[in-house]
C-alpha cells in the first residue's frame, strides 16, 4: 500500500494504475496532480482515473499538423498553444487533458505547472473510444468552466465542428469539411487549411 496524500491511502486491485482507488473510492484534483507523469496520460472523471487511449497515426498526424498551423501564427500573435500534456481542472473530481489548448496572449501560464487555467480554445480529436464523451461530458464541462471555443475534429468524416460559447452553453456548431479553410474571427490571422490535416 502506498499513499499519494496524507489523507488517503491507495490500494491496487490489479496491475495497472487504473486499478488504484482511494479508501473512499474517489480521487480529487489534488490526488490527480500528485500522480507521477505517465504515458499515456490519465484524466480524472467523476473521481476516477481514466487512461487516455493510445492514439492512431491519423490522430497524431492531425494534432501535430494543427499545432504547426497554430505555432506559426503564435510567433506573430503572442498566443500560446499546447499539445496533450498539461491538464485542465474542471472541478474537485474532474480534470481533462485536451489534445490541443490555446491561450490568449494575456493569459498567465506557469511553465512548471501540470494544470492550466481554462483555455480560450480546447480541441478534441475523436477516436472510437472517446467520441461519446467528447460530445457529451467534455462539451458540457468545457462550457461550464467558460471555454469560449471548443473544436471537435473527426478524422474519419474529415470535419471540424466549431462550438462557440453563449449563455453558458455551446451554440450549434459551424462545420467545416475536408477542403475548407478555417479562419476564425476570434483568432485574427490564423489560417488552417483542412486538407493538410488529413493523413
Q: Which residue has the higher pLDDT, 51 or 98?
A: 98
Vertex 130 angle, CA 172 and 61, to 5°: 90
Of 34, 51, 68, which residue is a domain's last?
A: 51
Q: What is the pLDDT of residues 125-173, one digit of tens each?
A: 998 888 999 999 999 999 999 999 999 999 999 999 999 999 889 999 9
Q: Which residue has the higher pLDDT, 11 or 169?
A: 169
Number of separate helices (H) and strands (E) present in the chain: 4, 17
Other residues' Cβ atoms within 10 Å of the Cβ of residue 10: 18
20, 87: one domain: no
Domain that holds residue 14: 2-51
Q: What is the mean pLDDT of the chain?
A: 84
28, 107: one domain: no
Phi, psi of 162 (to 5 degrees): -110, 115
Number of domains into which the chain is organized = 2
Residue 77 to residue 170: CA distance in whole angstroms: 26
pLDDT-derived band of residue 70, with 50, 70 and 90 as boundaries?
Answer: very high
12, 89: one domain: no
93, 144: one domain: yes
Q: What is the mean pLDDT of residues 94-117?
A: 91
Residue 130 to residue 124: CA distance in whole angstroms: 9
9, 36: one domain: yes
Q: With 80 as the cut, is the pLDDT of residue 45 above it?
A: no
Q: Which residues, listed in sequence order, are joined to residue 80 by a DSSP beta bridge?
A: 103
pLDDT at position 5 is 43
* 16-25, 80-89, 184-193: which is most confident: 184-193
78, 123: one domain: yes
91, 114: one domain: yes
Read off the pTM: 0.79
Q: What is the mean pLDDT of residues 57-74?
A: 94
Q: With 70 as the cut, is the pLDDT of residue 11 above it?
A: no
pLDDT at position 158 is 96
pLDDT at position 19 is 43
163, 125: one domain: yes
- What share of the chain has pLDDT > 90, as a percent? 57
CA distances from 55 to 66, 156, 183 (A): 16, 14, 27
Q: Which residue has the higher pLDDT, 34 or 71?
A: 71
Residue 192 to residue 19: CA distance in whole angstroms: 40
45, 103: one domain: no
114, 187: one domain: yes
173, 86: one domain: yes
Cis peptide before 150 (omega within 30 of 0): no
- What share of the chain has pLDDT > 70, as a percent? 81
pLDDT at position 140 is 95
Amino acid at each position: 500500500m502506498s499513499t499519494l496524500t496524507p489523507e488517503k491511502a491507495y490500494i491496487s486491485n490489479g496491475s495497472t494504475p487504473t486499478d488504484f482507488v482511494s479508501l473512499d473510492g474517489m480521487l480529487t484534483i489534488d490526488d490527480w496532480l500528485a500522480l507521477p507523469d505517465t504515458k499515456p496520460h490519465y484524466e480524472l472523471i467523476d473521481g476516477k482515473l481514466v487512461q487516455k487511449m493510445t492514439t492512431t497515426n491519423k490522430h497524431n498526424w492531425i494534432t501535430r499538423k494543427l499545432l504547426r498551423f497554430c505555432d506559426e501564427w503564435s510567433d506573430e500573435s503572442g498566443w500560446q498553444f499546447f499539445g496533450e500534456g498539461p491538464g485542465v481542472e474542471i472541478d474537485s473530481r474532474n480534470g481533462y487533458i485536451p489534445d490541443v489548448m490555446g491561450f490568449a496572449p494575456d493569459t498567465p501560464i506557469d511553465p512548471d505547472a501540470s494544470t492550466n487555467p481554462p483555455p480560450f480554445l480546447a480541441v478534441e480529436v475523436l477516436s472510437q473510444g472517446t467520441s461519446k464523451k467528447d460530445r457529451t461530458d467534455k462539451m458540457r464541462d468545457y462550457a461550464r468552466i467558460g471555454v469560449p471555443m471548443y473544436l471537435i475534429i473527426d478524422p474519419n468524416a474529415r470535419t471540424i465542428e466549431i462550438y462557440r460559447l453563449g449563455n453558458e452553453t455551446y451554440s450549434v456548431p459551424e462545420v467545416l469539411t475536408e477542403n475548407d479553410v478555417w479562419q476564425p474571427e476570434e483568432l485574427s490571422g490564423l489560417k488552417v487549411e483542412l486538407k493538410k490535416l488529413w493523413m
